Amino acid sequence: MTKHEALDLAKAKITGGVAADQRHDSAHKHVTGEAAYIDDMPEPAGTLHACLGLSQAAHGAILSMNLEAVRAAPGVVDVLTAEDLPGANDISPSGLHDEPVLAADKVQFFGQPIFAVIAQTREAARRACRLAKVEYAEEPALIDIGDAPAGAKLVTKPLKLQRGSAEEAIANAPRRIKGRMRVGGQDHFYLEGQIAFAMPGEDGDVTVHSSTQHPSEVQHMVAHVLGVASHAVTVEVRRMGGGFGGKETQGNQFAAIAAVAAKRLNRPVKIRPDRDDDMTATGKRHDFLIDYEVGFDDDGNILGTDFTYAARCGFSSDLSGPVTDRALFHCDNAYYYPAVRAVSAPLYTNTVSNTAFRGFGGPQGMVGAERIIDEVAFAVGKDPLEIRKKNIYGTTARNVTPYHQTVEDNVIARIVEELEQSADYGKRRRQIEAFNANSPIVKRGLALTPVKFGISFTATHFNQAGALVHVYTDGSVHLNHGGTEMGQGLYVKVAQVVAEEFQIDIDQVKITATTTGKVPNTSATAASSGSDLNGMAAQNAAQQIKGRLVDFAAGHYEVPKDQVVFLPGRVRVGNQEIPFADLIKQAYMARVQLSAAGFYKTPKIHWDREKGRGHPFYYFAYGAACAEVSVDTLTGEYMVERVDILHETGRSLNRVIDLGQIEGGFIQGMGWLTTEELIWDDKGRLRTHAPSTYKIPLASDRPKVFNVTLADWSENAEPTVHRSKAVGEPPFMLGMSVLHALSDAVASVAGHRICPRLDAPATPERVLMAVERLRAAR
């Protein structure tokens, strides 16, 4: 809308306010290719390109590094090693100083960056990298956590959660089962790989365009590595081509290299690893070995559980502490354990340092809980859904988590019940039984699994956010906040909140790139917190400006403040209606400040890690999925026949964006548990480092029938932004329904009396081997 356009004073509703089905703000640019990602930015004259030289050994001292041929290669301008870093050789986000930018004396995983080539072209840099001659004194490497000896090295302090005496409860239980589950890791496979582009400035300054979920951390890391103050570094990101947690800390390395080279050579420097290097040299979802023991009665009531969650953390701590913590926080999924003990083992391995990935350990925690459900169900000969419902959290009793937080907003029973009805679970269960009885080769399986996911960063201090809102004299609004856009629709949601607050059309709100220069000291856009935190901060900024406008209008027009009301596109002041832009102009003339920095911090949360007690989560998000699969018991191949999802996002800020998160999250979760398999060889080399070998779902892998419903009755019990709920991570774990439907199909070959113990990812191979095991055991 331009200012020349006549305002519709009778307008009933703004466009693009809260709860509108507003499309992604960049959709029209995505489809034309005009949405600019960092590699699409025009390169200033003199731009150089960097490539990382990666270790070819998993563990050992660097005996010698001969880079002469690299330096002499065509187009090479410079080669950086650890000693060329002007500041600290450290990008450890945990503060444990265990992660160098470039390995100096020893390497700790196959693929660890040890030098960087700066060349005229990216191709020249890539070619030169391969000419390095590096000698290692190789030492034994621990690659797989299954090989970790007792008392193996940890990358960070483990966590223990305990409520009641699990040992006693299990010992006294009528029945007990002990087992071990392996759940694989996952590569993020963001379509846009890691990338950073650094522009040198005056004095110590540098501006870095980084594909990062955490610009503030990139800023701090770059400053640290350059040995300059944070004020010298500006980090900006307009959008990422996907993040999923893989750009929470993993962008630091690339930003640091680009910035160091840019300052050293006083030229712009870009670094964009190819897909293989990206997958080899950056962290992934942690794979886990889960040791579990459960005590239960003949009816399938769980009496006590004991878990050990051992994780392949890689060579450094990165985010492994909070990731393994969150695994424990979700060892209950949606179930009440009368007594529980859960401990983590964040194991050091000679592999790339694993990192954040959608769910952040929570999914691995939950699959442990769901395995226990399977164990109990097959042991007592009942449908796993019956066991799930029997053990689900109560609302007034049986509602305390293993970390002593009471579940206050529990709606999981209602969700499961509604989904059971809408998916026609009972009838299909009987149909599948009949089908399987007559089908010796192809077996069907059905499972309905719930999700309860805790919302908040478990590190309490991260639960804060800032925003910056300017209103210009023509009534148009500039919006900036600390959240980053990785495709999840955060920018549009926050813009909706601001449009709603001012009662102006969303087109009047300019969405701008996240930059550390506008909003400082931000938290990562992670933990599903983006719209909760930044939406509130932006709302706060808008409300400050509104407050000033109300004060001004009340004074100027001599009306009580409650007679200044923001209506769509206009403001009613007493008996007259003034177009929004006119009021803004008047306020400007009266020297009213039309800019505000907003702030928000999540209330109510606290956490004592030492004691394993507290209220780490502001609220929980709930959902459930029901999956049906068919399995070929000759080959292990399978097909997802149908999936029904019921998920709640409170009073949704934007239903179409939320549905997109649910559909996409489910498929990503399904991929993690089915076809996405990471394989390292015995030298510690990742063999699945490109889409040719690492298989994320395709369009033809999605369920044949896919019904996704938002629980429209839901609202957040807490006063979040417009009572909405976070949606980024929770739907990911709906993918567990597919793993358990596969498990159910496999179990059918032995009359549902033996737990298939189907580990993840449930590739056709794992499915077939489970079938073979059950056939042999029946």
Partner 1 sequence: MKTRDEIRFLLNGEAVALRDVKPDETLLDHLRLQRRLTGTKEGCAEGDCGACTVLVGRLQAGGLVYESVNACIRFVGSLDGCHVVTVEHLKRPDGGLHPVQQAMVDYHGSQCGFCTPGFVMSLYALWMREPQPSDRAIEKALQGNLCRCTGYEPIVRAAHAISSYGDASADPLKAERDAVTKSLVAMKDGARVEIGSGGERLVVPASLDDLAAVLEAEPKATIVAGATDVGLWVTKLMRDIAPVVFIGGLDELHGIEEDGNVIRIGAGVSYTEAFALLARRIPPLADLIDRIGGEQVRNMGTIGGNIANGSPIGDTPPPLIALGATLTLRKGGARRTIPLEDFFIDYGKQDRAPGEFVEAVNVPVPGAETRFEVWKISKRRDEDITAVLGAFNIAIADGKVASARIAYGGMAATPKRAKAVEAALVGKPWTAESIEGALSAFEEDYKPITDMRASADYRMLAARNLLRRFFLDGVAGHVPLQVSRYEAA
**Count of residues for the chain?**
778
- In sign, the C-alpha dihedral spanning 76, 82, 84, 89 is positive
Q: Is 274 in the site for partner 1 (CB under 8 A)?
A: yes
Give the amino acid at 299.
D
- Indicate the pairing of strand 340-348 with strand 613-615: unpaired
| Min dist. Cβ of residue 235 to partner 1 (A) | 19
- Least Å distance, CB 687 to partner 1, is 4
Rounded least distance, CB 182 to partner 1, Å: 15
Q: Choose the binding region for partner 1 from 258-266, 324-332, 343-351, 481-489 (rule: CB under 8 A).
A: 481-489
Q: What is the DSSP letter of 333?
A: T
Closer residue to partner 1 in complex, CB, 191/777: 191
Nearest to 114 by CA among 144, 70, 145: 70
Residues between 487 and 516 with contacts to partner 1, criterion CB under 8 A: 487-489
Q: Provide, rounded to whole angstroms, the least separation between the CB of residue 658 and partner 1.
A: 11
What's the distance, CA 140 to chain centroid?
Answer: 33
Using CB under 8 A as the binding rule, whether residue 186 contacts partner 1 is answered as no
| Binding characters for partner 1, 356-375, by CB under 8 A (x = yes) | --------------------
Q: Does 29 bind partner 1 (CB under 8 A)?
A: yes
CA atoms within 13 A on the CB side of 511: 22
Least spacing, CB of residue 33 vs partner 1, in Å: 2
Q: Using an 8 Å Cβ cutoff, are 387 and 596 in contact?
A: no
Binding partner 1 (rule: CB under 8 A), the pick from 93, 184, 535, 697 is 697
Binding part of the chain for partner 1, among 8-16, 307-315, 435-443, 548-556 by CB under 8 A, reads: 435-443
Outline where 438-589 has alpha helix (H): 490-502, 530-556, 580-589
Q: Which of 449, 444, 419, 414 is nearest to 429 (CA)?
A: 444
Q: Which of residues 65-124 bind partner 1 (CB under 8 A)?
A: 123
Q: Dihedral sign for Cα 208, 209, 213, 215, please.
A: positive
Q: Which of residues 321-340 bind partner 1 (CB under 8 A)?
A: none
Evaluate whether 337 touches 363 at the Cβ level (below 8 Å). no
Q: What angle do CA 333, 336, 338 make, to 5 degrees?
A: 135
Does position 651 bind partner 1 by CB under 8 A? no
Round to whole Å and give the CA distance between 44 and 467.
31
Assess 773 for contact with partner 1 (CB under 8 A).
no
By CB under 8 A, name the one of 199, 448, 486, 749 that touches partner 1: 486
One DSSP character per residue, 125-160 reads HHHHHTT-EEEEEE------GGGPPTT--BSS---E
Question: Does 634 help bind partner 1 (rule: CB under 8 A)?
Answer: yes
Please say which residue, 295 or 728, places its beta carbon nearer to partner 1.
728
Is 433 a binding residue for partner 1 by CB under 8 A? The answer is no
Measuring CA to CA, which residue among 9, 159, 25, 10 is closest to residue 656?
Answer: 25
Q: Which residues pair with 66 in a beta bridge?
A: 133
Using the minimum distance from each CB to partner 1, give the nearer residue, 701 or 718.
701
Among 160, 176, 769, 773, binds partner 1 (CB under 8 A): 769
Q: Residue 667 Cβ, how far from partner 1 at the closest point, in Å?
A: 3
253/661 with CB nearer partner 1: 661
> Which of 12, 150, 229, 699 forms a contact with partner 1 (CB under 8 A)?
699
Q: Is 696 in the site for partner 1 (CB under 8 A)?
A: yes
| E strands, 44-132, in order | 48-54, 60-66, 76-80, 106-107, 113-119
Stretch of residues binding partner 1 (CB under 8 A), selected from 73-81, 388-396, 587-595, 682-690: 682-690
* Measured distance CA(572)–CA(563) in Å, rounded: 7
Number of residues that bind partner 1 (CB under 8 A): 90
Decide whether 178 or 704 has the Cβ nearer to partner 1: 704
Could you give the CA distance from residue 599 to residue 468 in angstroms, rounded to a whole number? 9
Task: Rank residues 10 and 705 by Cβ distance to partner 1 and give the closer one.
Answer: 705
- In the bound state with partner 1, the residue whose beta carbon lies nearer, of 473 and 707, is 707
Give least dist CB 243 to partner 1, A: 8
DSSP annotation of 569: T
Beta strand 76-80 with 113-119 is antiparallel
Q: Which of residues 235-254 bind partner 1 (CB under 8 A)?
A: 239-244
Q: Which of 301, 688, 717, 718 binds partner 1 (CB under 8 A)?
A: 688
Structure tokens at 533: 């935190």
Q: Which of 78, 98, 167, 276 binds partner 1 (CB under 8 A)?
A: 276
Q: C-beta of 122: minimal distance to partner 1 in Å?
A: 9
Q: Contact with partner 1 (CB under 8 A): which of 39, 98, 551, 718?
A: 39
| Near partner 1 in 438-477, by CB under 8 A | 438-442
Candidates 71, 702, 723, 773; binder of partner 1 (CB under 8 A) is 702
| HEC string for 272-300 | CCCHHHHHHHCCCECCEEEEEEEEECCCC
Alpha carbons 38 and 267: distance in angstroms, whole number: 17
Q: Which is nearer to partner 1, 580 or 694 (CB)?
A: 694
Q: Tell the smallest beta-carbon distance from residue 754 to partner 1 (Å).
A: 19
Shortest distance in whole angstroms from residue 592 CB to partner 1: 38
Q: Tell me the window of 331-339, 375-383, 449-457, 684-692 that interacts with partner 1 (CB under 8 A).
A: 684-692
Strand ranges across the sheet with 48-54: 76-80, 113-119, 48-54, 269-271, 196-200, 206-210, 233-237, 514-515
Q: What distance in Å separates the CA atoms of residue 210 and residue 37, rounded to the nearest whole number?
A: 10
Backbone angles phi, psi at 155, to 5 degrees: -90, -15
Q: Please report, as residue ranges, which positions from 188 to 227 form the binding site for partner 1 (by CB under 8 A).
A: 188-193
The tokens describing 668, both together, are: 């990503």
Q: Residue 517: left if φ>0, alpha if ψ -120 to 50, beta else—which one?
A: alpha
Q: Which residues are catalytic?
A: 729
By beta-carbon proximity to partner 1, the closer residue of 683 and 687 is 687
